Amino acid sequence: MRIILTNDDGYDQPGLLELEKTLGAEHEVWVVAPMYHCSGISNAIGLYSEMELKKTGKRKWALDGTPTDCVKMALSELMKNTGPDLLVSGINPGANLANNVFYSGTVAAATEAALWNIPAVALSIQVSDPGDEPLFSTASAVLKRLLDAGLPSMIPPGTLVNVNVPNTKLREIRGVTWTRMGRFAEDIDFRRLESGRIFAYKRYKPLPVVDGRGTDVEALENFRVSLTLLDSTRTSIQKPPDLGAEILQP
């Protein structure tokens, strides 16, 4: 397969390099990743910014832009005559679960590919404690098994698979399960750096979940790989309310 690799941490980060090593052994890999760290940037694009594109190796570039910019650059410029079979975004050092899916640059890059009807996977590994060492080799081994099982051909057009892997040895993982996206019952608090004027978010900590059954959060708690199928359209499946026939009538 011809695979685009990207991330939201930067073109030289170990998670991306691990993927490049693992997938490059069997596939044609193209790397287009941010020049700088872009975590938490979601689907932002550098609409009014100039962006430097720097070639860093064979089929490898760093872009002074967001993860979404990287995917757009790959598809519309660098690979416009040789479209990819798959995009993989990651490996992110830290799970992208529940509400955090909306903020994630890792997931955003995969979402952009899904908008182009390209099969896409966002890959993250859980790191609950800042002192923990991410086992990127476990996440890349999980992805290889998913690809060998034919996952790209199973992804419906316009969707992406958000994959979260427990930070443990491969032999200790208890399986793979399809999940739904959870919803945290709380948010991360701010900390005051200067009273009433300067604030910053507190460090990430595990948060309680509203009805955790069948969620991505529950899967990781049980040492299982979570696969969540996400739709790029964001159209709700809920029935919209009846506003009445007379609204806006003259």
Angle between helices 136-148 and 14-24 (to 10 degrees): 40
* Amino acid at position 234, single letter: R
Q: Which domains, from first to last, does the chain contain?
A: 2-183+213-231 (3.40.1210.10)
Q: pTM higher than 0.85 for the full model?
A: yes
Q: Which residues have CB under 8 Å from 56's CB, separation 6+?
A: 11, 31, 62
The torsion angle over the Cα atoms of residues 62, 65, 67 and 72, rounded to 10 degrees, is -90
pLDDT at res. 249: 66
Ramachandran sector of residue 227 (left: φ over 0; alpha: ψ -120 to 50; beta: rest): beta
**pLDDT averaged over 10-residue windows placed end to end, the chain, 250 residues:** 97 97 96 95 93 97 98 96 94 95 97 97 90 94 97 96 97 97 81 81 75 93 97 88 72
Asked whether the beta carbons of 160 and 108 are under 8 A apart, the reply is: no
Q: CA separation (Å) from 50 to 33, 53, 68, 91, 193?
A: 16, 10, 15, 27, 33
How many angstroms separate the CA atoms of 179 and 30, rounded?
A: 29
Angle, vertex CA 63, rays to CA 59 and CA 69, nearest 5: 105
